[in-house]
Each structure stands twice: as C-alpha cells, then as structure tokens.
Structure 1
Amino acid sequence: MTITNVAFIRTKPGQGTALGGLLAELAPISREEAGCIDFELHRSVDNPDLWFVYENWTSRDDLDQHFKTPHLLKFAEAAAPLLDGEMDLRLFSKVAVVGAKG
C-alpha cells in the first residue's frame, strides 16, 4: 500500500531560506532510497518561513526506514534550531482516484 507523508514545517522568522537549503540537500538523497516514489518540496507563496513536503513511499516499512537514515537524522538535527515548533507530519493512504482515466 502506497503511503503519503505530508509535512508542514514552520521556521522562526527569517529562517525559511536556511531550512530550504537543508531540504534541498535532503531531497535528492531521499529520492534515491528504496521505496521512494517521489519527494517534493514546496514553499508558501504567502509566508517564506512555511514549507510543505510531499512524499510518496511504496510501503510504511520504506517510510519507517527513511526516518532512520543517517541523512534524515542529520537533517533533523540541523533543522531543529531553525524551527518554530514541531514539524507537523501526517500520513495518508490512497483510497480512490476520483476522475482518473484508466
């Protein structure tokens, strides 16, 4: 079952660009992991200190392994002083594709 991880990450004022640099380093490494379907970064149009990460994984086990990788642990450590609160992580599974062809 495909698992989608949605993360909303808010930084302290003025730290959005610094977090973006860390995310830009994390994304290509994460995309190479077993089970990673995609790993996309989005920055708020209205608030440069708010980021949204959208990831799809082939299984919950693959996502769980991602959370244990050295590069993700390094990211979390480096990002911690930049953050305004905890990262808001939400997991989803696809139940239907509305309007899709095929």
Structure 2
Amino acid sequence: MSMLTNVAFFNARPGQGEVLGQRLLALVGPTRQEPGCVRYEIYRAADSAERWFVYEDWRSPADFDGHMQTPYVKAFMKELDSLCSEVPEIRAFGQQPDPAGS
C-alpha cells in the first residue's frame, strides 16, 4: 500500500465562509479517529474568509475511499451546493521515495 495525500480547496458562497468552516471543522474529530487517517487538517485563507483548504494523509487509497463512505462525509457532501460557490478542487498525490534513501 502507498500513502495518499489529498488537498482540497473550497470557496464559500458570499457570506457562507463561517458556516462552511464550521462544517469542515466538524469533520476533524471523527475523521482523525478513522483507522487509515494519518493527518487531517483544516486551514482558512489568510486573505479571504470565504476560502478554505483541507490537507489529509491516508495510509492507502482504500482508507480514503472508506472515509468518503462515512455518514458524516456523505452528509457534508450534500451541503456543498448550498455552501460553495463552485465545485471544490480536490487533488491527490502519492508520496515518492527519497532517492538518497534517508
């Protein structure tokens, strides 16, 4: 299995930045309890109350897939249209080995 890192960018609708942030932050506790979760952090843009960023590390893609099937993530995903001004940008990355072996 290989580690999976996801970054996700969310742009709230005008006036929805606080609500979006509350919904994102509500995911932190239960997500960090999932067996495959290595890291799960939420960030707010320094220059905009409407922009949020999620950084997450999973032991494997299968662990992330399981996360996406949890009831709390499914409920959050249903709210995205009303909270976000556009579809969130989500990018996945795989960790590469250190060529020096250190």
Q: TM-score scaled by structure 1?
A: 0.91
Give the equivalent residue in structure 1 for 2:8. 7
Give the equivalent residue in structure 1 for 2:89. 88
Say which is worse superposed, 73-82 or 86-95, in terms of deviation: 73-82
Give the equivalent residue in structure 2 for 1:44. 45
Answer whether contact 1:8 1:87 (CA < 8 A) is retained: yes
| Aligned residues between the structures | 101
The DSSP-based 3-state class of the residue aligned with 2:90 is strand
Give the equivalent residue in structure 2 for 1:34. 35
RMSD: 1.8
Task: List runs of 5+ in structure 2 lacking aligned partners.
Answer: none
Closer/same/farther in 2, CA of residues 48 and 35 from structure 1, 3 Å limit: same
Give CA-to-partner distance per residue, 1:32-87, whole Å, 9 cap, x none.
11100010000000011000000000000000111111110011113330111101
Q: TM-score scaled by structure 2?
A: 0.91
Percent identity between matched residues is 36
